[in-house]
Chain A
């Protein structure tokens, strides 16, 4: 507590601005995502049997020849989105 008050007094930032509910929700979401990724990654170590859908390992060396390369511009589409205008703060 003393540490927090010291930090507040040095930075001049009051802790009452901190939205604990929002912060907890964000923290739990990040925790959930990290846990899911970690656990699934560890589970993935147990699987080593996969289909090999590509024959890339068997490409004849030097056989790839690109004979036609054509990139043609068709059209453009522009979208715009109004920026939220912030209200000026009154004292």
Chain B
């Protein structure tokens, strides 16, 4: 069985957590604060750990079917002895019996150890406040959503990301046109000049993030960007205390395709901006070569809020570093059509009156 890491307060023995406001570990029981360096020794044994070996024993008279035990891990809580069942990717969680936060060292050791982590900067209260602001000013939001929606779950999760650095050598070809118009007494003229345009050069990207967890919706995670990598630090498992964390289950190789797509779009846009002075520009060919491409593994902070309204589930997310809050909201169809027909009626009347007045004065 893999070892659990619980960060116990040296003063009172309570389970300490990472406090995003103080950027330190703090005991919620005796309010003692600890610098991150003070718990460095906890990480020393993580570095030397090898991979775990889970050998399952089937129950007497009952055999696990092939594949049934895949993806399930079992641990014993050091505080209360309760059994903690997690899926294969969980790296930090809390005991469902006593609530103590635990870090599953085996999930973050050896080749699984993250290179970087951006610690949480914003706490649960900030997430709740952002949620309230997110609902304000939305004219088509059903009136009952704000009052009736129930937050079923709010959790701070360190989401695994692959961060890609790469240099790009780019060559692009375009077809561009310039249009000139003039007229005389008898004809309207239009001359179109056609150009072949070439651009080539270099550009580099650093820490392009791609979500490494299949459990987290990729579009939701991309909506939370950008993350400021400048505030990332070397990984220290103590940052995870009090939060949930997953290890990656989408490898860097699997994530490369998405990184390539994003790098390609950014490169094309950067070079196309240098094609100026034309009325139309169409790309005819591109050649992008990546050099010095590397991938690093990091944990980025995200608050996830699961709510329920009118029998529907809604997921909201907040960037735990910058506070950017996203989440799609339902649309009240009645309000939609009300605004539609109101605008239609007012604008039509104004347009009719304007035409009449113009006809009079001209």
Asked if B11 is at the interface of the complex by the 8 Å CB criterion, the answer is no
Stretch from B74-82, B241-249, B348-356 forming part of the interface with A: B348-356
Pairwise interchain contact B222-A54, C-beta atoms closer than 8 A: no
Pairwise interchain contact B193-A73, C-beta atoms closer than 8 A: yes
Q: How far is the CB of B324 from chain A (nearest CB, A)?
A: 9
Residue-wise, chain B 193-214 has the 8 Å CB interface mask toward A (1 for contact) of: 1111111111111111100000
Stretch from B15-23, B46-54, B146-154, B335-343 forming part of the interface with A: B335-343
Chain B residues contacting A80 (CB-CB under 8 Å) are: 187-190
Residue-wise, chain A 6-20 has the 8 Å CB interface mask toward B (1 for contact) of: 011001010101100
Pairwise interchain contact B336-A51, C-beta atoms closer than 8 A: no
Residue-wise, chain A 22-64 has the 8 Å CB interface mask toward B (1 for contact) of: 0110111011101110110011011111111111111110011
Q: Which of B121-142 contact A (CB under 8 A)?
A: 134, 137-141
Once bound together, how far apart are the Cα atoms of A79 and B336, in whole Å? 46
Chain B residues contacting A15 (CB-CB under 8 Å) are: 359-360
Pairwise interchain contact A35-B204, C-beta atoms closer than 8 A: no
Chain A residues contacting B259 (CB-CB under 8 Å) are: 55
- A70-B197 contact in complex given A27-B355, A38-B340, A83-B186, C-beta closer than 8 Å: yes
Q: How far is the CB of A63 from chain B (nearest CB, A)?
A: 4
Asked if A78 is at the interface of the complex by the 8 Å CB criterion, the answer is yes
Stretch from B37-45, B108-116, B267-275, B297-305 forming part of the interface with A: B267-275
Once bound together, how far apart are the Cα atoms of A73 and B193, in whole Å? 7
Chain A residues contacting B200 (CB-CB under 8 Å) are: 66-68
Once bound together, how far apart are the Cα atoms of A59 and B226, in whole Å? 12
Interface size on B, residues (CB 8 A): 79
Stretch from B1-9, B60-68, B91-99, B326-334 forming part of the interface with A: B326-334
Cβ-closest chain A residue relative to B359: A18
Dominant secondary structure of chain A at its interface with chain B: mixed
Q: Indicate the member of B195, B222, B271, B340 with the most A CB atoms within 10 Å.
A: B340
Chain A residues contacting B143 (CB-CB under 8 Å) are: none
Interface size on A, residues (CB 8 A): 59
Asked if B280 is at the interface of the complex by the 8 Å CB criterion, the answer is no
Pairwise interchain contact B189-A31, C-beta atoms closer than 8 A: no
Asked if B69 is at the interface of the complex by the 8 Å CB criterion, the answer is no
Checking A8, A50, A63, A76 against B193 with a beta-carbon cut-off of 8 angstroms, the contacting residue is A76
Asked if B223 is at the interface of the complex by the 8 Å CB criterion, the answer is yes
Chain B residues contacting A75 (CB-CB under 8 Å) are: 193-194
Q: How far is the CB of B116 from chain A (nearest CB, A)?
A: 14
Asked if B58 is at the interface of the complex by the 8 Å CB criterion, the answer is no
Pairwise interchain contact B188-A30, C-beta atoms closer than 8 A: no
- A63-B186 contact in complex given A35-B344, A49-B326, C-beta closer than 8 Å: no
Chain A residues contacting B340 (CB-CB under 8 Å) are: 35-36, 38-39
- A63-B269 contact in complex given A34-B343, A74-B195, C-beta closer than 8 Å: no
Pairwise interchain contact B343-A60, C-beta atoms closer than 8 A: no
- A35-B341 contact in complex given A28-B348, A45-B139, A58-B208, C-beta closer than 8 Å: yes
Cβ-closest chain A residue relative to B188: A81
Asked if B225 is at the interface of the complex by the 8 Å CB criterion, the answer is yes
Asked if B361 is at the interface of the complex by the 8 Å CB criterion, the answer is yes
Q: What are 25 A-B pairs with beta-carbon distances under 8 A?
A: A11-B360, A13-B360, A26-B355, A27-B352, A30-B351, A31-B348, A31-B351, A35-B340, A45-B139, A46-B138, A46-B328, A54-B262, A56-B270, A59-B204, A59-B270, A65-B202, A65-B203, A66-B274, A67-B202, A68-B201, A71-B176, A72-B197, A76-B191, A81-B190, A82-B186
B positions within 8 Å CB-CB of A: 134, 137-141, 167, 171, 176, 183, 185-209, 218-220, 222-223, 225-226, 259, 261-263, 265-266, 269-271, 274, 325-331, 336-337, 339-341, 343-349, 351-352, 355-356, 359-362
Sort A-B residue pairs by CB-CB distance and give the 7 closest, nearest first.
Answer: A31-B348, A63-B204, A68-B200, A35-B344, A27-B352, A27-B351, A55-B262
Q: A32-B344, A83-B185 are in contact. List 9 more A-B contacts (CB 8 A).
A: A18-B356, A24-B352, A36-B340, A48-B326, A49-B219, A71-B198, A77-B194, A80-B189, A81-B188
